[in-house]
Amino acid sequence: MSTPQFTTVGLVGTGAMGRGIAQIAAQAGAVVRLFDTQADAVAKAQAALGAQWDKLAEKGKLSADAVAACKARLKPAAQLADLADCDLVVEAIVERLDVKQKLFAELEAIVQPTAVLATNTSSLSVTAIAAGLKHPQRFAGYHFFNPVPLMKVVECIAGLKTDPAVCQRLAAFARQMGHTPVQAGDTPGFIVNHAGRGYGTEALRIVGEGVADFATIDRILKDQVGFRLGPFELFDLTALDVSHPVMESIYRQYYDEPRYRPSVITAQRLAGGVVGKKGGEGFYRYVDGKAQMAPEPAVPQVAELPPVWVSTRAARRAELLQLLKDLGAKIETGQSPSPQALTVVAPLGFDVTTVAVVERLDPARTVGIDLLVEDAATRRRVLATNPATRSDMRDAAHALFARDGKPVSVIRDSGGFVTQRVVATIVNIAADMCQQRVCTPQDLETAVTLGLGYPLGPLAMGDRFGPASVLEVLFNLQTVYGDPRYRPSPWLRRRGAIGLSLLHEET
């Protein structure tokens, strides 16, 4: 084992986060001194860590000698003064600015002048925490994610006065602990919590418009894009008493930036104590830890399908026509649909109503299909009606597009349906983070794929579906909703306009 970047590490706080950091630091070869204001918390943490290492040995992931060495390197600290010889001290305590400031003022008077001080804050300003220190240049953010041993990304955050060498040392130590470091500016939410705003908040807006229910939105985003959890499953896992305050905090810290606007839906559910899986009820009810999800509506039985006419302006029109042919549809090829035809549109960003009006189609016979993602790459098709769509036309469209057994979700009218809206919001926020120089595009992709488990990083997702298409979705969403939330980031607008990858950095 190589000599660790920091040989003696102090950990203040013995909750799950503090224990996790202590575990990987000791495994990396550092002596770890544990301190907590609760008298018995350190002994309990030592016992828990010892049991964890014993389990790793049982699974063959650590040798008996390695376990003994880790336990020997874990030292209790009865008082803060016992951290005097540490060359790195990390706090993992309550998310309160005044409490953290007081702690670091005390630590600064105890540790050596060369020691590095770091906060594991997830939502507070690193600069603000360091504001009262005499030597803020040796202070930085060191943000790990729970559970620390499994979540392999750590954000190294430079405050306004942080010496760049401090973040470089912290990054090197993260690598020694088996983690992947990313460098972030001191902005609200840093990288992961900032980039994650679009997924849940846009899904909440869609529900708030009555477009679809929670389960339908979860199914669509998992099956069309490949997210491992739908947004409402994710809210239930993280719990609203954690996630809603983060949404509010980032929104307020950005002075009510519309892109980060929270939802009254989560505020109400939090107030009512319906917070998620840990309480047995969130967006879903849980029985024996399993979400109780209503079955999908059955495919309608339609005796005779009408002929189908496809809008000349439909996205992926050639692909859509081939799909209809494969499904056995009778396709009309005239300049306009016959009075009997089911009319299919495939807009980007617009709602079905707008398309029907602009293209002078009969809204009663018009249904939309979302083709941002090519059909062959999805496990679900999504159709949208408009307020005038006849029920027989809705059922005919559902039955037709379900003919080959692929699941079909039928939702109410929505600019950008579901997938387009959520993907475009995620990509736009990520692009603007790069525009603000919060981090490099590469670090953003790394942080989000490791920290949030997205199937692709947000910028790679934008490239995958086409920056020009994402840009079109956003412009049209702005037209439909008149909301500055959807205004495109300059990073996205410029690269989309000239055909550059969203990962491209200017020299």
Q: Any idea which residues carry the catalytic annotation?
A: 122, 143, 155, 193
| Residues 6+ away with beta carbon under 8 Å from 151 | 144, 145, 450, 451
SS3 143: strand
DSSP string of 393-437, one letter each residue: HHHHHHHHHTTTS--EEEE---TTTTHHHHHHHHHHHHHHHHHTT
* Cβ neighbour number for residue 340 with a 10 Å cutoff: 10
Phi first, then psi, for residue 454 (nearest 5°) are: -65, 150
SS3 194: helix
* C-alpha pair distances (Å), 407 with each of 85, 103, 284: 62, 55, 21
Distance CA 59, CA 63 (A): 10
Alpha carbon of residue 285 to chain centroid = 23
* C-alpha pair distances (Å), 183 with each of 247, 292, 313, 368: 22, 40, 44, 43
SS3 376: helix
* Cβ neighbour number for residue 12 with a 10 Å cutoff: 25
Closest CA to 90 of 18, 20, 185: 18
Task: Give the type of residue at 100.
Answer: K
SS3 355: helix
Distance CA 144, CA 182 (A): 11
